Amino acid sequence: MAHQVNGGVLEDTFQHLRACGCGRRECQVLWLSSWDSPQAITKVMHPRHKSHLGGFVLDDQWLSDFWLDLANANMGIRVQVHSHPGEAFHSPTDDAFPIIHKPGFLSLVIPNFGLGPVGFNEAFLAEIQPDGRWQEVAIASRLMLA
C-alpha cells in the first residue's frame, strides 16, 4: 500500500535540502506519520547532522532525543530522504546505515542536491526487503502525491 505524500511535505523537503545543502553538501530529512494513520505522511523532520559534498552523519545525541520525541508524539519514520550531488542511487553507505531497519522501510534519494524541480523526477527509491537487503522499487508503487 502506497504512502500518501502531500505537496507541502514535498515542498518542505526540497526547501531543507536546498537551504541546508546550499548546492555544496548532502542533506537528509525524515518523513513521519502517526501510528494511527501510518500511510499518511504529515511531517518533515530535518535532523541535526554534519555533512559534506559526498555524505552526512546524524548527530548521536539528537538521535536519542528524537527517539523519545517520536514515542511521545505517537509517530514513526516511514521514509528517509537525502540528496546526492549528482545522480540519485543507493550507495553502500546508504545501504549499511539507515535510521530504520524494518522490511518495507523506504529510502528516497534526490539528485543534484535537490536543486532541480520539486518532485520525483530522476529520484531513486529503495526499500528494505525481509532479508535486510535494499531493492529499488518504482516510486509510484510506494509514494502517492496527494
Partner 1 sequence: MTDHNPSGSEGADHAAEEPIEHLRHAERDLEKALEKEQEARHEVEKAEAEVAEAIQELEHPRHFTVEILYDGVKKKFEVCADERVKALLDKALSAFGPLPNRHTLSLYKGGDELSDSQTLKEAGVKPHDVLLLRPSKVKGGA
Residue 61 or 138: which CB sits closer to partner 1?
Answer: 61
CB 82 within 8 A of CB 26: yes
Q: In the numeric block, which cell numbers belong to residue 114? A: 535537490
Quick one: which of 5, 17, 28, 79 contacts partner 1 (CB under 8 A)? 28
CB 100 within 8 A of CB 38: no
Residue 5 or 126: which CB sits closer to partner 1?
Answer: 126
Q: Which residues contact 27 (CB under 8 A, 6 or more apart)?
A: 16, 17, 20, 21, 46, 49, 51, 56, 82, 83, 113, 114
For 105, 132, 136, the CA distances from 25, given in Å and listed in that order, are 24, 28, 24
Regarding 61 and contact with partner 1 (CB under 8 A), the answer is: yes
Residue 136's nearest CA partner among 126, 123, 146 is 126
Residue 6 or 95: which CB sits closer to partner 1?
Answer: 95
CB 7 within 8 A of CB 15: no
Least separation, in Å, of the C-beta of 12 and partner 1? 19
Q: How many residues bind partner 1 (CB under 8 A)?
A: 44
Regarding 116 and contact with partner 1 (CB under 8 A), the answer is: no
Regarding 101 and contact with partner 1 (CB under 8 A), the answer is: yes
Amino acid at position 132, single letter: G
Q: In the numeric block, which cell numbers belong to residue 8? A: 507541502
Residue 82 or 142: which CB sits closer to partner 1?
Answer: 82
Regarding 97 and contact with partner 1 (CB under 8 A), the answer is: yes
Regarding 79 and contact with partner 1 (CB under 8 A), the answer is: no
* Chain residues in the site for partner 1 (CB under 8 A): 26, 28, 35, 47, 54-58, 60-61, 63-64, 67-68, 70-71, 73-77, 80, 82, 84-86, 89, 91, 93-94, 96-103, 128-132
